[in-house]
Each structure stands twice: as structure tokens, then as C-alpha cells.
Structure 1
Amino acid sequence: MANTTNISVDTLTDIDQLDGPLSQRVYTALRDAILDMKLVPGTVLRKAAICEQFGVSRSPVADALTRLSGDGLVDVVPQSATRVTRFSLDEIREECFLRDAVEVAAVKRVAATRTHDQILQLKRNVHLQKLLVEDEDFHGFFEADEAFHKMLLEFTGFRSVAAIAGQLALQLRRVRMLVLPKAGRPAETLAEHAAILDAITDQDPQAAAKAMRYHLAQLINRIEPLERQHPDFFC
């Protein structure tokens, strides 16, 4: 089931457009490509090709790959190959479990404590989602979807919740890139987000929790069939 195809890195972000030390910029460009499924699970990452693409030495590339390995996004086999990590259904189910625990608790808190400004921000985001669905801009919708959930976590008032939750759900972010373009799913997701927003607006924590739990449950129901549709992406 090995996918040894080397996908060209010429579509990666230009690191000159990024901020930070050289190894950080290489890391960010590769991480974004993996999370956006431009580099699919099983892809071989060759240091020489990456060095040539970015015009850098091997040291920042090696540092970036080490960090990506720590994130669980690449598998580094010494004296062999470095590959983009394949999906594991067990890990995805665990991430779904953790996401449910965090986001249901978060939305209950936000529904009880939300401010007028927070409601306005959420409404603007949902309106943007609606426009993106109408334009069939799936990548833009994905980013707006991510922003909606991040806002809810940030509105809890706990500074580290959004960052920790994001780091715990890296595999989910990747696999969701396969789910959202499915016919009808963006519109369904929009309706589910609107239901969550309505409950928050009504200051109804229990309704908000119910709406969020239903929304999150739809994801795993759509992920499991992907193992049959894309067997090379799974281990």
C-alpha cells in the first residue's frame, strides 16, 4: 500500500514571504502543504529536492523535518526515507473524542458568557461562510470553518485552549480536507454552524452543546468511508 510518488514541491509557499528564522520558514511552508493536502499521506520528502526548491542548505530542512516528525506529520526513517504520515483511524477517533470534550465544554461556556461583540464576530464569520458556499470556494470555506471553531475556543477566555486544541487535531485538519468538498457537505456544515450560533445568541448552553455535539459527530461518520476510497492514505 506504499505511496512512493514524489510530488513536486514547486507549489509550496515561497519562504521569502514568511517571517522568522530560515528553519522556521521551511517548517511553516512544509507544514502548511501537509495540512492543506498538497503533500498527501505517504508522499516521500527528499531533502535534496526541498533544498533546491527553497534555495537553502540541508541544515534548516533537517531541522524542519525533525519538528514535523514531532508534530506527527512526517515519519523519518534514518538512512531510508522521510514520508508524510499516513492517517490512522484509531488516532483520528481519539482526536475526535478530544475535540468533542473540548469544544462542547467551550461552547457551553461561550453561550453563558458571550458578549455583543463576540456575537457580531461569529455572525460575520457565518455570513462569510454562506458567501463562500455560494461561490463553491471550498478552500476559503475550510479556512472560515476553522476560524469559527477557533473563535469559540478563544471566547472561553482561556488563553491556551485554542492553541492546544489545534495541536491535538492536526490529523483531523488534514482528513477534513477530503470531507468538505463532498457534494452538499459545505451547506450542511453551514447549517450546523448557524444552529450553534443561534443557541449562543439565545444564551442557551444546553442547546449550544447539543448543536456542537451533533456537528462534530458528522465528521467521524464521513471519515470512516474514506479508508476504502483512499486506501493509500491510511496505514
Structure 2
Amino acid sequence: MLQGEDTPLQEPIPRRPLLSPLDQFPGSLSNKVYLSLKQAILSLVFRPGEVLQKSEICDELGVSRSPVAEAVARLGAEGLVDIVPQAGTFVARFSMQEIREGAFLREALELAAVETVAETITEEQLVLLRRNIRLQEVLLADGDVPGFYQTDAQMHELILSFTGFRRLASLADTSWVHVNRARRLNLPSPGRIQATLEEHRAIVAALEARDPQAAREATRHHLRQLITFLEPLINERPELFAAG
């Protein structure tokens, strides 16, 4: 028998979805598309320098070009994509200038917050932090990097919320957006997740001791590890970084 004779054609292998379904996100249709795209960029599903094909995004999310265009414009304003006329839309490469600036702003906010919280933290708030740390331990043991990353972010959000300032977490998140994406290169590195957990334990221990100075120092040490890790990557992975 000739190869292929009377043999059914193989079905094409479906492409793995890159974007989270829109029903996971709040707001208008364009806001849902924006949040889905932003999640994919921050989690490095879309890599720095990669072309964003609007037609493929429309097909995957089941939407028209209009909400996708609005979402891409918002991402461009945040510096997460580069829109080049007659060339296309590209996921922005990392900028060490923006990463350093974001890290500086986030550090200023978090150090002020953790120092305040160390003086005012309640036992109920400490219980929430201890539970968060235990969950981090379980996720580390299970090798669940995305889950660990999410729980890590929740710990920082808890501390910021304990200040009682409602806008603080939003301000910190805005300043951290470029650092947030770059740090995804960090956690999968050997030993980094364990080290991150130890740094988190030190922060919580300082808060349990209600020691503002120790809380500041533990937080400063933790936040500065990212820059220490990223600096060598400029030479090791230059394709991920913008020139200059």
C-alpha cells in the first residue's frame, strides 16, 4: 500500500491558547482585552521583542479589532508595547533605566509602609501574613512557580494595605510594572525561590517583633536582590533589553 493511501488525514495540532479568557476579568470589553494582554506580557507569555499579531489576538479572544486596538494603545502608554508605524506592534524590551526607576519608587513606598506597619500591626494582621508564608512554603515544595509568584505579590499587598492608605497598593503596582515583568526572569533561577521565601520570613519576623528598623532593613535587602540579579543579564541576554 502506498503511504497515505486510504489513511485519514491527520487533524492539525491546535495552537495552545496564549491569553486568559475574557470572563476572568472585570470591566468593559476593551478593559478585559487590556487585562488579558497585560497578564500575558507581564508573565512573559509574550516575550520582549515579540511581534503582537492583532488578527491572532482577535481570533483567540473572539473580539473585533476595535477593543484590541484600544487595549494595545493603553499598553503602549504604559511602555509595555512599542507601536512602530508601518512596521507593527512589538512587546517592549526591558529598559534598565525604567527598571531602576521603578525599583527606586517601590522601595521608597514599601520601606515607609513596613516601618509604619511594624508599629501598628495587629495580631489578626500577623495571622494573615503567617498564613501567606505557610502557603508560600507549600507552593515551593510543590514546585508551583506561578502560584508562588502570586502569593509573593499578595504578601506585599497585605503589608501595604495594613497602612490603611487605600491608594498605596495601586501606586506601588504602577511604579513596579516594569520591574514586575523583569522579575519573572528571576524566580525560576536555581535557589532564588528558596532565597525569596527566606527574605519574606525575615520581613514577617521583624513585623512580629514590632521592630521598625529591622523591618526596613529586611525589606530593603529583599527588594534590592532583583536589581542585583538583573544587572548581569544585560550582557548575558542582550536580546531582551533595549539599547541604551
* Structure 1 residue 16 displacement after superposition: 3.7
Report the residue type matching 2:61 in the other structure.
F
How many angstroms apart in 2 are the aligned matches of 1:49 and 1:11? 10
Aligned to 1:173: 180
1:133 pairs with 2:140: yes
Q: Secondary structure at the match of 1:183?
A: coil
CA distance in 2, matches of 1:203, 1:42: 45
Tell me how far apart the structure 2 counterparts of residues 20 and 9 of structure 1 sit (CA, whole Å): 26
Does 2:172 match 1:158?
no
Deviations 1:35-89 (A, max 9, x none): 1110011111122121122221111110000111112111112332111111011
Is the CA contact (8 Å cut-off) linking 2:103 and 2:175 kept in structure 1? no
Per-residue CA deviation, residues 108-161 of structure 1 (Å, 9 max, x unaligned), is 001011011110000000111111111111111111111111111111111100
Unaligned runs of 5+ in 1: 1-7
Aligned match of 2:153: 146
Moved over 3 A (4+): 16-19
Alignment of 1:60-71 (within 5 A): 60-71=67-78
- Alpha-carbon distance in structure 2 between the residues aligned to 1:70 and 1:15: 22
- Which residue of structure 2 lines up, in the alignment, with residue 119 of structure 1? 126
Q: How does 1:1-235 map to 2 (within 5 A)?
A: 10-235=17-242
Equivalent pair of 1:9/1:53 in contact (CA under 8 Å) = no
Assess if the C-alpha contact under 8 Å between 1:9 and 1:50 holds in 2. Answer: no
- Rounded to whole Å, the distance in 1 between the matches of 2:182 and 2:239 is 13
- The one-letter code sitting in structure 2 at the alignment partner of 1:215 is H
Rounded Cα–Cα distance in structure 1 between residues aligned with 2:195 and 2:150? 16
TM-score normalised per structure 2: 0.90
Q: Distance in 1 between matches of 2:16 and 2:135?
A: 31
Q: What is the total number of aligned residue pairs between the two structures?
A: 228
Shift of 1:9: 7.7
RMSD value over aligned CA atoms? 1.3
Alpha-carbon offset, residue 18 of structure 1 = 3.2
Aligned to 2:47, what secondary structure does the other structure show?
Answer: coil
Please say which structure displays the higher CA radius of gyration: 2
CA distance in 1, matches of 2:82, 2:16: 18
Distance 1:10 1:217 in 2: 34
Taking the aligned partners of 2:75 and 2:16, their CA distance within structure 1 comes to: 16
Cα distance in 1 between the residues matched to 2:56 and 2:139: 35
**CA 1:9–1:89: 2 relative to 1, 3 Å:** farther
Separation of aligned partners in 1, 2:16 and 2:106: 31
Shift of 1:172: 0.7
Preserved contact between residue 22 and residue 32 of structure 2 (Cα < 8 Å)? yes
CA apart distance, 1:230: 2.1
- How far 1:167 moved relative to its partner? 1.0
Query: Where does the alignment leave 5 or more consecutive residues of structure 2 unmatched?
Result: 1-14
